[in-house]
């Protein structure tokens, strides 16, 4: 269990760790020598690997609604998935980027977002709340959010070229050190507040991936090929 809302709902949220092995998403199942890790991990969590819909990320803002038909598929160019169908599990991969779990308990709908600085800047989490509102009449003030472990402001240094794009979030850019640092979690909280999500419905995992040896961190490990974790949400059947 990652988040308090899992206790009172039939929603399952998971995040793999280093112990479960690397889990990069290739374009097709069976393409990757790492697929076995994911299958073993899913089974250990009671999830049928054939019921998974995986986003093959592109750091964009494309969000897809999925249902039974997409089970077992890997969808390219997508950074967010959502559904209201029980037994359809949604997956993104992360290693420093934010895995954001979105839950509408009232309409029994769930979503998951992968957000790096580009996704945060273009408001992908806001877009997810809006899409769920359109599809399921989701009321933002009922939405519960879980932000999984990610690189926190303590370790997220960026170049000036990136920092200056976050002008409207000036209070989330820290400049006490040589290079600017961005508080992506803080920006996401602000964006959620602006669309009407209650601050006390947002749970933030306190772990910074860069500091946590049991989690993959791209900034720390430089393992772009394989060093990623899988984040999953779904409605139990």
Least Å distance between CB 155 and Zn ion? 4
The correct pick among 155, 162, 223, 226 for binding Zn ion (CB under 5 A) is 155
Q: How far is the CB of 191 from Zn ion (least distance, A)?
A: 21
Q: What is the smallest separation between the CB atom of 133 and Zn ion, expressed in angstroms? A: 34
- How far is the CA of 146 from the CAs of 35, 77, 154, in angstroms? 26, 23, 20
Figure out which of the listed residues 137, 141, 154, 224 binds Zn ion, where binding follows CB under 5 A.
Answer: 154
Q: Contacting Zn ion (CB under 5 A), which of 71, 144, 152, 181?
A: 152
Residues 187-226 that bind Zn ion (CB under 5 A): 208, 210-211
Q: Which is nearer to Zn ion, 131 or 209 (CB)?
A: 209
**Secondary structure (H, E, C), the chain:** CCCHHHCCCCEEEEECCHHHCCCCCCCCCCCCCCHHHHHHHHHHCCCCHHHEEEEECCCCCCEEECCHHHCCCEEECCCEEEECCCCCEEEEEECCCEEEEEEECCCCEEEEEEECHHHHHCCHHHHHHHHHHHHHCCCHHHCEEEECCECCCCCCECCHHHHHHHHHHHHHEECCCCCCEECHHHHHHHHHHHCCCCHHHEEECCCECCCCCCCCCHHHHCCCCCCCEEEEEEECC
Nearer to Zn ion, 139 or 211 (CB): 211
Q: Minimum Å distance from CB 83 to Zn ion?
A: 33
Looking at 80-88, 115-123, 146-154, 162-170, which segment touches Zn ion (CB under 5 A)?
Answer: 146-154
Q: Which stretch binds Zn ion (CB under 5 A): 10-18, 127-135, 148-156, 215-223?
A: 148-156
The site for Zn ion, by CB under 5 A, has a size of 6
Q: Contacts with Zn ion in 22-51 (CB under 5 A)?
A: none
Minimum separation from the CB atom of position 152 to Zn ion (A): 5
Using CB under 5 A, list all residues that contact Zn ion: 152, 154-155, 208, 210-211
């Amino acid at each position: 269990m990652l988040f308090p809302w899992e206790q009172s709902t039939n929603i399952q949220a998971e995040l793999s760790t280093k112990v479960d092995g690397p889990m990069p998403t290739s374009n097709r199942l069976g393409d990757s020598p790492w697929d076995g890790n994911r299958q073993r991990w899913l089974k250990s969590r009671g999830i049928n690997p054939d019921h998974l819909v995986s986003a093959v990320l592109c750091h964009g803002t494309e969000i897809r609604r999925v249902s039974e038909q997409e089970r077992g598929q890997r969808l390219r160019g997508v950074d967010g998935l959502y559904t209201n169908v029980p037994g359809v599990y949604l997956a993104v991969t992360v290693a420093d980027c934010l895995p954001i779990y979105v839950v509408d308990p009232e309409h029994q709908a769930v979503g998951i977002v992968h957000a790096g600085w580009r996704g945060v800047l273009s408001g992908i989490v806001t877009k997810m709340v809006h899409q769920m509102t359109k599809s399921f009449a989701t009321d933002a003030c009922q939405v519960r959010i879980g932000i999984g472990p990610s690189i926190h402001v303590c370790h997220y240094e960026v170049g000036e070229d990136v920092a200056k794009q976050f002008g409207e979030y000036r209070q989330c850019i820290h400049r006490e050190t040589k290079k600017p640092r961005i508080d992506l979690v803080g920006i996401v909280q602000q964006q959620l507040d602006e669309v009407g999500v209650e601050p006390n419905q947002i749970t933030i995992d306190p772990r910074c991936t860069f500091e946590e040896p049991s989690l993959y961190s791209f900034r720390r490990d430089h393992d772009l090929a394989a060093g990623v974790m899988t984040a999953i949400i779904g409605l139990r059947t």
